[in-house]
Amino acid sequence: MSSCWRECPQTVSCPTTPKDLPTPQVSERRDPHPSRMQMPQGNPLLLSYTLQELLGRDTVQVELIPEKKGLFLKHVEYEVSSQRFKSSVYRRYNDFVVLHDMLLQKFPYRMVPALPPKRVLGADREFIEARRRALRRFINLVARHPPFSEDVALRLFLSFSGPDVQNKLKESAQYVGDEFMNCKLAPRAKDFLPADIQTQLAVSRELIRNIYNSFHKLRDRAERIASRAIDNAADLLIFGKELSALGSDTTPLPSWASLNSSTWGSLKQALRGLSVEFALLADKAAQQGKQEENDVVEKLNLFLDLLQSYKELCERHEKGVLHKHQRALHKYSLTRRQMLSTTVQSREPDAAEQLESRIVEQENAIQTLELRSYFSLYCLHQEMQLVHVYLPLTSHILGAFVNSQIQGHKEMSKVWNDLKPKLSCLFAGPNSSLTPPRPLEDGVSPQ
């Protein structure tokens, strides 16, 4: 764990390691200043988390509660429950938005997961459920992220039960500054970066891009597999109901079919009893589909959300601090040329002093931006490590998928086997014994 996550003053919102979780042992360089906490020797850039340690930080549930209707508008509200804080609070979508904004403000160089879009017009059940799942993924990624997990904004969001949580969140960010301003190691981030940090960053971005594309395809296929299982459940249920309806038909037989009345009656009696088994088959298929939605598709979506947040962080690094740094250098260059020109052409000392003052200010701003640039790279390197900590989630996903398929086919196979003896009367011959079906003349087997 980096010292930026452990050494910030307690008056600000820099995270610390929770006492109830294992503490990763990563050494750090000593700070020569006697008034500061001493750091173990080593490179604080390197992390040593395991996936189980991250997942063990917290598990947050986000459940939909009944809509509250006003005079003209209605809104969706969620019950947010945290295992870590043993809390249960009510939150609206806009509360999540404020938390997201506070995290971006405090941690601009960290992976802040994106929120699902807000739908302006009326939302259907499918959209509301998809958004609920996305909000649950967002808050769990935040609650398990080392710097975010100890931030006061997250604690307020998960445990504050008073009125107007949004203002409370905004107040917590006032006069605090971002992570760069509160981290003791920020001015020295360059000292801990590898010499080939830019090369590593480029390779990392390419790797994450490839992993994201592959997992996106896996997610799409997993969605289709789960959807087919649910569609199969609906088809099996309707199939059984139609068999039952056929067996319950009370239309009298015509006179010319009276010789087969006993056969038709036996068939109807057998068909009426089959709906129970087909309903059970439908239930098993629906359970398998739902389980794969929760254990396979959702975990794939969680990992995709994490990868997307890393991609967006890289873009913020390039478009934000690097762009500002380049713009400041360009402005500084223009001011220097203007000062040289003024010094040569003008004899007024005030103009030269003003330009010199501006140059000093710009030099200070450039120095700060340069330090922020290195700190941004420092954080990018750590966030990349966190992405790799999540990679073993792949084995969890595959294990859940295989187990679901094995269990689902096993349970459905048992129901099919139990169903087969009930079909005996459908193939009963003259001696009431099972007559093996023979191929029809057109080559189509009755089976």
User: Where do the domains of the chain lie?
Assistant: 51-182, 226-250+262-426
Rounded Cα distance between 17 and 15, Å, is: 7
- Mean pLDDT confidence for 247-273: 73
pLDDT digits (tens, 9 = 90+) for 325-346: 555 455 545 555 555 555 555 5
Of 142, 155, 143, the C-alpha closest to 114 is 142
Give the pLDDT confidence score for residue 340 in this predicted structure.
53
Question: 358 pLDDT exceeds 70?
Answer: no
DSSP for 358-388, written as a single string: HHHHHHHHHHHHHHHHHHHHHHHHHHHHHHH
- Mean pLDDT confidence for 256-270: 70
Calculate the CA 275 to chain-centre distance.
40
| Percentage of the chain modeled with pLDDT above 90 | 52
Query: Which one has a higher pLDDT value, 144 or 441?
Result: 144
Give the pLDDT confidence score for residue 420 in this predicted structure.
85
Question: 254 pLDDT exceeds 80?
Answer: no
CATH number for the region 226-250+262-426 comes to 1.20.1270.60
pLDDT digits (tens, 9 = 90+) for 292-319: 999 999 999 999 999 999 999 998 888 8
Tokens of 205: 């971005």
Read off the pLDDT band of 356 (50, 70, 90): low
Rounded Cα distance between 447 and 154, Å, is: 61
Q: Which CATH class is domain 51-182?
A: alpha beta
pLDDT digits (tens, 9 = 90+) for 196-243: 999 999 999 999 999 999 999 999 999 999 999 999 999 999 999 998
Backbone angles phi, psi at 49, to 5 degrees: -80, 155
Give the pLDDT confidence score for residue 396 in this predicted structure.
95
Torsion angle, alpha carbons of 152, 154, 157, 163, to 10: 10
Tokens of 71: 């005079």
Give the pLDDT confidence score for residue 24 in this predicted structure.
36
Query: Is residue 374 within 8 Å of residue 190, measured between CB atoms?
Result: yes
Query: Is residue 63 within 8 Å of residue 20, measured between CB atoms?
Result: no
Give the pLDDT confidence score for residue 419 in this predicted structure.
87
3-state helix, strand, coil in the chain (%, to 5): 65, 5, 30
Query: Is residue 65 within 8 Å of residue 76, measured between CB atoms?
Result: no
Rounded Cα distance between 147 and 150, Å, is: 6
Give the pLDDT confidence score for residue 30 in this predicted structure.
37
- Mean pLDDT confidence for 125-149: 95
Read off the pLDDT band of 275 (50, 70, 90): confident
Question: What are the distances in angstroms from CA 353 to CA 278, 337, 339, 350?
Answer: 90, 14, 9, 5
To the question of pTM greater than 0.85 for the whole model, the response is no
- Mean pLDDT confidence for 377-384: 94
Read off the pLDDT band of 16 (50, 70, 90): very low
Give the pLDDT confidence score for residue 384 in this predicted structure.
95
| 51-182 and 226-250+262-426 share one fold | no
pLDDT digits (tens, 9 = 90+) for 138-180: 999 999 999 999 899 999 999 999 889 999 999 988 888 889 8
Average pLDDT across the chain, whole number: 80
Give the pLDDT confidence score for residue 69 in this predicted structure.
52
